[in-house]
Amino acid sequence: MSIEGTVAVDDGAAGRPPGSGPTGTVARLRRLVSDRSHRAIFGTLVLKVGSAAASFLMLSLCARAMGEFEFGRFAMWFSVVSLLSVVAVFGQELLIVRAWNEYTAAKQPGLAKGALVFGFAISIGAGVPIGLAVFGFEMLREGDLWLAIGLAAFLILHTLLLFTTHAARAIVSIFVGDAHREITWRFVVVLAMGTALATGVAATAGSFFLVAAAGIAVSVSIQLVAIARKFPADARAARSEFDEKSWVPRSFKMWLSAIMESINQYVEVLVIGLLIDPVAAGAYFVASRLANSFAMAADGINTFGTRHIPRLYFAGETAELGRTMRSMAMFTALIVACGLLAVIFGGHLMLWIFGEQYMSQYPLLLILSIGTAAVAAAGPAPSILLLTGHEGRYLAVIAAGVALRCAGFFVLIPWLGVIGAAIATAVSFVAITTLLNIQCRRLTGLDPSVRQLFRPAMPA
């Protein structure tokens, strides 16, 4: 196999007598399946497809069980607390992935253990006061006690989940990290919302956040047990060492980058809710979640990359890194193509599952899908920049993209409504991903996008 990970041609096949062994397409397929990187990426993709399905099912049940106005109210609050969770975790979810791989490769278990302790302390220490602030805000604004309790509990536990997921990814496995972040707690919500829909009980935003918080508590507990069981003996025996002088500024850059990324993901729902109304925000939320479904599957490539690329990069395993990157690009191209076809031919059906009132949002879904397809095709360039020491450059690009997007919102939404928001989002996504890939190639020498598939592979 070449350094880029292409499947080599079996030169000995031409001399074999008929029936002596697999040749041609069958041989290529067998080599594809036998490649360790391909199997690992495929397993991660299966997990992400399951995550997308769980999210789709959960949100469709919520939309039908809540009704248009309450679902729009839920969509706005969900965007707020999801964004605040990223604020509260202070970049620790990214720092632990980089620190754990860097320190374990350098045989420094004390620092690896210290980074884990540091991350837990920050996540809990910031999550609790921010959660209490949200509780107080809701009580002063509407006085909905159950919604206030649900919001606070969800925010605190979701902040912790962000950290434990990435810690579990680095220490245990991608499955333990992402399955419980993406599927376990959503399954609890699906059961509750399905029961409400079947019995005719009206669901509310408050009931969602209360049930979701309980589900997240289950997910976090499972991850903590797995981390404790898998924790390396040398790190367990080592005394925790702390390097706050390096971790705090590094966390700060990662934190700002994560906030900008979250603003990109959630801000449009809030802006639409404020400029138009919660019903319009709910409709946009449905279309954006559907558009993100196949991008979520492509995020499986990013998930795989965050676990393996830092390890290979810091260990200097150039050949394996090249093979891994090309395999990632191949799977990404497949996902983007299949995802766009699914939206083009099945978009109306997807919207109908949420409710007939959302079927008119098909043009919105199509525009947003083009933007998310561009993000997916770019590959894990953001993670590569963040995890290889180029946080500052990533932050500059993502901040410019957020500014472009927000300007587009305030210019286009009053003119075109939700379609204007979708156009602004798609244009900003294309601009951001193009710049990030240019910077990734210049600074790291790595091309994570599908573009590398159109170049000839280096000879083995």
Tokens, residue 88: 């509260």
Q: What is the 3-state secondary structure (H, E, C) of 28-84?
A: HHHHHHHCHHHHHHHHHHHHHHHHHHHHHHHHHHHHHHHCHHHHHHHHHHHHHHHHH
7 φ/ψ angles, rounded to the nearest 5 degrees = -85, 120
The pLDDT assigned to 125 comes to 96
The pLDDT assigned to 107 comes to 92
The pLDDT assigned to 326 comes to 73
- Count Cα atoms within 13 angstroms, Cβ side, for 182: 27
- Count Cα atoms within 13 angstroms, Cβ side, for 307: 24
Q: Which pLDDT tens digits describe the chain residue by residue (460 residues)?
A: 333 333 333 444 444 444 444 455 555 556 555 556 566 667 767 777 788 888 889 999 999 999 888 999 999 999 999 999 999 999 999 899 889 988 998 899 999 999 999 999 999 999 999 999 999 999 999 999 999 999 999 999 999 999 999 999 999 988 898 889 989 999 999 999 999 999 988 899 999 999 999 999 999 999 999 999 999 999 999 999 999 999 999 899 889 888 888 887 888 888 888 888 888 888 889 888 888 776 665 666 666 666 666 667 666 666 667 677 777 777 777 777 888 888 889 999 989 988 888 888 899 999 998 888 888 777 777 777 877 778 788 888 888 888 898 899 889 988 888 899 899 999 998 898 888 888 888 887 777 777 766 665 544 4
Q: Which position has the token pair 């409709």?
A: 283
Going from N- to C-terminal start, the domains of the chain cover 26-454
CB within 8 Å of 119: residues ≥ 6 apart: 92, 93, 95, 96, 163, 167
Map residue 442 onto helix, strand or coil: helix
CB within 8 Å of 356: residues ≥ 6 apart: none
Degrees to nearest 5, angle at CA 49 with 44 and 206: 115
Q: Which position has the token pair 């983007």?
A: 336
The pLDDT assigned to 3 comes to 34
